Amino acid sequence: MSIEIFHSACPHDCPSTCALEIERINKTKIGRLRGSKTNTYTDGVICSKVSRYQERVHHQKRLTTPLKRIGKKGEGNFKTISWDVALDEIAHAFKQATLLYGSESIWPYYYAGTMGLVQRDGINRLRHVMKYSGQEETICTTLADAGWVAGAGDYLGVDPREISESDLIVIWGGNPASTQVNVMNHISKARKKRDAKLIVIDPYQTRTAQVADIHLALKPGTDAALACSVMHILFRDGYADKSYMEKYTDYPKEFENHLQTRDSHWGSKITGLTVEEIEAFGRLYGNNKRSFLRLGYGFTRSRNGAINMHAASCLPAVTGAWQYKGGGALYSNKSIYGWDKTLIEGLDSYDPNVRKLDMSRIGEILTGNTEDLKGGVPVKAMIIQNTNPAVVAPDSSKVNCGLKREDLFLCVHEQFLTDTAKYADIVLPATTFLEHNDIYQGGGHSHVIVGPKIIEPYKNSRENHQVICDIAKRLGAQHPGFKMSAIQIIDDLLLKANYPDSRKILKTGWHDCMPSFDIAHHLNGWPTPNKKFRFRGVWKNTRENKDQKKLPEIPDFPDHFEVIESPDIEHPFRLITAPAHNFLNTSFTETQTSTSKENQPEIILTKADAESLNVKQGEIVKVGNNQGYISLNVNITDTKQQNGVVIIESIWPNGAFKSGLGVNVLTSAERGLPEGGAVFHDTKVWIKKINDKP
Ligand SMILES: Nc1nc2c(c(=O)[nH]1)N[C@H]1C(S)=C(S)[C@@H](COP(=O)(O)OP(=O)(O)OC[C@H]3O[C@@H](n4cnc5c(=O)[nH]c(N)nc54)[C@H](O)[C@@H]3O)O[C@H]1N2
Ligand SMILES: Nc1nc2c(c(=O)[nH]1)N[C@H]1C(S)=C(S)[C@@H](COP(=O)(O)OP(=O)(O)OC[C@H]3O[C@@H](n4cnc5c(=O)[nH]c(N)nc54)[C@H](O)[C@@H]3O)O[C@H]1N2
Ligand code: SF4
Ligand SMILES: [Mo]
C-alpha cells in the first residue's frame, strides 16, 4: 500500500497549533509527521517531540479498553469491562449523586490536552444541559488575559509573520525555543534580512535566552517595574510618540507624570537588573519603531502577573510602534475567529445561577473548603477529560488527598494511565487526534485548521464527543449537539462563521482569518469603549463569591505591585517551575525519547547559591515550604540567573519523585489578582542538603 499524506493540526496545548503533514502507512499506522511548508506561519517547522509522534500514538501503554477499579484509589489496579457496563456505571453514579445532593454535586473537569474545539469543549454541553457545576478555567491564561484586556480591550495583535519585518524582537516572559518553536523561525528571518536584535526577558537562561542578543535576567514577578522604568526612559529621552498617544491612548499626560519617579535606579532596585541594562533596553526600544513585543504566559504566573502583563503591553502604545510594519505586540489572536459555540457547548442551556468552581483550586474543592464550594454541596462525582490534575494543579498534596476520597466517584477519559487516571473508579480509553475529526484555531497565529480522522481508533478507544453523547443518552439529556457527528458540528460552526466548509478547508489545509494590517494594528481605533488603548487599566473581578476577603487595590497605572511571595529568612529562594523542552505539561512524559532527553528532575541553582548551601553538581537536595517538600538533583549554572532564584523544569509525573508527588507540592493554589489564575512561578522555598534535617 502506498503512503498517503494528510493535512492536520497539532492538537496539543501550545500557541503554535502547527499545520501538519502526516504520512499514513495503512489504516492503523502513521509514518512521519512534518510541519507544513506551504502554511506561512508553520513554514515547515515543528518541535521534535511531535515530529516523532509515532512513538506516542503507537505506544504500547495506550489505554485499550474501559477499566473498573479493583484496588485502592491511586494504586492503579483495574479489571477490564465493556463500554456498556462502563457507561451504565457512570450514568448511575451521576443520577445517584443528583438524587442525593443535587446536580451541582457533579463536576465535569477538563482542559486543553486536545485543543480541538469539538472534542475539548463538548463536555460543557453535558454540563450546561444537566446543570452540573461550572468550571472557572484558571489554570493557564486567566492572568495573562486579564492583563492584556485591561489595556487593549480584546485579543487581537500583530500578525506573527510580521516578525520577519521587525528590527527588534522582545520575547517577554516566554520561551518559544521550547514552547512555541516557529516563533524562532520568524525571528531568524528578521535577523538574516534586517539584522534584527533579539531581547529576552526571563529570570533564567532558557534556550531562547541562549540565542538572544540581550538577556535580561530579572527577578521573577518584577516585570512591571522593568516596564515602568523603560517607559520612564521613553518619555524622558523623547522616544514617546505624543501625537500617537493623543489620538490612540487614554491619559498619556497623567501616565507620564506617574512614571516620573520610576527611573532606572528605582527599577534596578526592584528587578535586580543593572541601571545600564535598563537604560540600554530603553534606548534600543525607543530607537526601533519596528519593535515586535511577543508577550508570553510565563511572566503572568505570579500573584501580580496580570498587572505585569498590562505594564509590558503599554510599551508600544508609548512609542507608537503599532503604526509600523513589524511593530506592536502580540499576546493572542483568539478573538478573531468569531465562533458561535452554542452547539458545541450547549450555551442555550447555560444557567448563570449554577455555581462555577475554580479548576486551579481543585484540591480545596475536593477537600470540602466551603468558600471554594461557594457555600454549596460537596463534589460527589466527576468526569475528567484531557487533563491530569493529580500532577498539574497547584498544591498537589491537597489535590491528591481530594482525589483519594472514597465517597467521590471519578471517571477519567484518557489516552494513558496517568496519575489522575490511577485514582479513577472508571477509566475510559480515548482516541488521539489522528483517530477522530476536529477543528483547531491558532492562538499564536490566525489559521483555522481541520484535522481529519486519519487512522482507526486504537483498540477500543473512543473519541470525547462520542463518550459525552453516550453519557447524555443514558441520562436523558436533550440537545441537538448530542445527535450530531463531530464533522456535522464542525460544518455548522464554519457555516455560522461564514468560513468555507470542512471539505474545502481539508483541500487547502487551512483557512487564514488574519484581519487587515489596519485592524490588527488598531489603526482604526482600539477595541475599547472609547477606542483608545488604556494606560489606566480597566479591571474586573468576576469572583462570584460574596464572602470573599477584600482584595488589595490594583494600582491605577502600571506599577510594581508588591503582592508576590517574597523570599524570607525561612524561605530564602524564589522558585520558577518552567516548562521542560521535551515534555508538554505531562504529555510526552510517557515517551521514552522525551524522558531520556530530560533525564531526571533537577533544580537549577546559581554557583553562589550552591556554595552557600554547600551542595555540588548532581547532589540531591530537599526543596520545601509550608505545603511540603520534594527531593531532586542539583544542576549548577553560571549564567545570568540571579542569586536566590531557582528553577525546576516541569512537569514530571509524580512517580519521578521519591515522595510520590511532584513539583506542584510546592506551588500555591492562591488566586492571582484580580480575577484568579494559577501562580505557578510565584513560590518561596527553602533548600536543604539531603543530610540536613528538613
Ligand atoms: N516544550 C513545552 N512546550 C510547551 C509547554 C510545555 O510544558 N513544554 N506548555 C504549553 C503550555 S500549556 C503553555 S500555556 C505554553 C506556555 O508557554 P510560555 O508562554 O513560554 O510560558 P511559561 O511556559 O509559563 O514560561 C515561560 C518562561 O517564563 C519565565 N518566567 C517565569 N516567571 C517569570 C517572571 O516573573 N518574569 C519573566 N519575565 N519571566 C518569567 C520562565 O522562566 C519561562 O522560561 O507553552 C506550551 N508549550
Ligand atoms: N508546576 C507547573 N505546573 C503547571 C504549569 C507550569 O508551568 N508549572 N503549567 C500549567 C499550564 S499552563 C497548563 S495549561 C496545565 C496543563 O495541564 P494538563 O491540561 O493536565 O496537560 P497535560 O499534562 O498535557 O495533560 C493532558 C492530558 O490529556 C490527554 N489527552 C490528549 N488528547 C486527548 C483527547 O482527545 N481525549 C482525552 N480524553 N484525553 C486527551 C493526554 O493524554 C494528557 O494526559 O498545567 C499547568 N501546571
Ligand atoms: S510546536 Fe506546539 S503546536 Fe507545533 S508541533 Fe510542537 S507542540 Fe505541536
Ligand atoms: Mo497552558
Q: Which domain holds residue 595?
A: 565-689
The verdict on the CB of residue 270 being under 6 Å from ligand 1 is no
Total domain count, the chain: 3
Atom of ligand 3 nearest to the CA of 182: 1
What is the residue-averaged pLDDT of the chain? 96
Report the pLDDT averaged over residues 77-81.
97
Q: Is 584 in the pocket of ligand 3 (CB under 6 A)?
A: yes
**421 and 342 share a domain?**
yes
Atom of ligand 1 nearest to the CA of 221: 35
Residue 568: strand, helix, or coil: coil
Cβ 372 under 6 angstroms from ligand 1: no
Asked if residue 115 has its Cβ within 6 Å of ligand 3, the reply is no
Of the pLDDT bands very low, low, confident and very high (cuts 50, 70, 90), residue 672 is very high
Compute the distance from residue 9 Cα to the ligand 4 centre, in Å. Answer: 18
Per-residue pLDDT band at 2 (split at 50, 70, 90): confident
Q: Does 546 have pLDDT greater than 50? A: no
Contact (Cβ atoms closer than 8 angstroms) between residue 634 and residue 617: yes
Residues 107 and 147 in one domain: no
In a domain, 350, yes or no: yes
- Kindly report the protein residue whose alpha carbon is nearest to atom 8 of ligand 3: 10
Whether 144 has a pLDDT exceeding 50, the answer reads yes
User: CA-based angle 326:304:395, to the nearest 5?
Assistant: 115
Secondary structure element (H or E) that encloses residue 414, with its range: strand 409-414
User: Has residue 30 been placed in a domain?
Assistant: no
Beta strands in 278-401 (DSSP E): 291-295, 328-330, 356-358, 381-385
Tell me the CA–centroid distance for residue 577 and ligand 1, in Å: 9
β partners of residue 23 = 5
Please say which residue of 314, 331, 348 terminates a domain: 331
The per-residue b/e assignment along 436-475, b for 16 or more CB within 10 angstroms, e otherwise, is bbbbbbbbbbbbbbbbbbbbebbeebbbbbbbbbbbbeeb
Q: Is the CB of 50 under 6 A from ligand 3?
A: yes
**How confident is the model at residue 553, as a pLDDT?**
86
CB 560 within 8 A of CB 229: no
Q: Terminus-to-terminus CA distance in the chain, angstroms? A: 62
Give me the pLDDT at residue 545, please: 42
Say what the pLDDT of residue 541 is. Answer: 60
pLDDT tops 60 at residue 694: no
> Does residue 543 register a pLDDT over 50?
no
pLDDT value at position 551? 75
Please tell me whether residues 349 and 301 are part of one structural domain: no
pLDDT (mean) for 570-585: 98
Q: Would strands 214-216 and 197-201 be described as parallel, antiparallel, or unpaired?
A: parallel
The pLDDT assigned to 89 comes to: 98
pLDDT at 293: 98
Q: Whose CA is nearest to atom 22 of ligand 1?
A: 298
Residue pair 673/303 in contact (Cβ under 8 Å)? The answer is: yes
Cα–Cα distance list, 14 to 171, 244, 344, 445, 460 (Å): 16, 34, 21, 11, 28
Other CB atoms closer than 10 Å to residue 584's CB: what's the count? 22
C-alpha of residue 680 to centroid of ligand 3, in Å: 22
Q: Which segments within 184-303 are labelled E, that is strand?
A: 197-201, 214-216, 249-250, 291-295
Sheet holding 438-441, edge to edge: 438-441, 447-451, 511-512
Asked if residue 173 is part of any domain, the answer here is: yes
Quote the ligand 4 centre to 345 CA distance (angstroms): 21
Residue 75 lies in a domain: yes
67: which residues sit within 8 A by CB, 6+ positions away? 78, 79, 80, 81, 424, 426, 427
Residue pLDDT, tens place only, 38-71: 999 999 999 999 999 999 999 999 999 999 999 8
pLDDT band of residue 548 (cuts 50, 70, 90) is: low
pLDDT computed for residue 340 by the predictor: 98
* 108, 111, 139, 148 from 676: Cα distances, Å: 20, 16, 9, 15
pLDDT in tens, 220-267: 999 999 999 999 999 999 999 999 999 999 999 999 999 999 999 999
Which residues form ligand 2's pocket by a CB distance below 6 Å?
A: 13, 111-114, 119, 139-140, 385-388, 392, 413-416, 418, 430, 464, 577, 579, 584-587, 650-651, 663-664, 667, 680
**Matching residue, cell 511593530:** 327
CA of 383 to the centre of ligand 3 (A): 27
159 neighbors 446 (Cβ within 8 angstroms): yes
Same domain (yes/no): 390, 404: yes
Which of 167, 417, 464, 120 is CA-nearest to residue 286?
167
For residue 298, the Cα-to-chain-centroid distance in whole angstroms is: 9
Residues 392 and 428 in one domain: yes
- Report how far ligand 4's centroid is from the alpha carbon of 585 (Å): 8
Outline where DSSP puts E strands in 478-560.
511-512, 533-534
pLDDT at 37 over 90: yes
Q: How far is the CA of 42 from the centre of ligand 3 (A)?
A: 9
Is 305's C-beta closer than 6 angstroms to any atom of ligand 1? no
Q: Is 2 helix (H, G, I), strand (E, B) or coil?
A: coil
Segment 648-670 shows an average pLDDT of 97
> pLDDT at position 693, please?
56
DSSP secondary structure letters along 11-40: -SSSTT--EEEEEEEETTEEEEEEE-SSST
What CATH number does residue 407 fall under? 3.40.50.740
pLDDT value, residue 396: 98
Residue 673's closest CA among 533, 539, 574? Answer: 539
Residues 381 and 423 in one domain: yes
Q: In 111-183, where do the E strands start and end?
A: 134-136, 168-172
Which residue has the CA at smallest separation from atom 5 of ligand 3?
46
Ligand that comes closest to the CA of residue 223: 1
Would you say residue 319 lies in a domain? yes
Whether the CB of 149 sits within 6 Å of ligand 3:
no
For ligand 1, is residue 175 a contact (CB within 6 Å)?
yes
- Residues 376 and 249 occupy one common structural domain: no
Do 121 and 161 reside in the same domain of the chain? no
Same domain, yes or no: 367 and 475: yes
pLDDT over 70 at 542, yes or no? no
What is the Å distance from ligand 3's center to 507 Cα? 22
Q: Does the beta carbon of 9 lie inside 6 Å of ligand 3?
A: no
Determine the average pLDDT of the residues in 541-560.
70
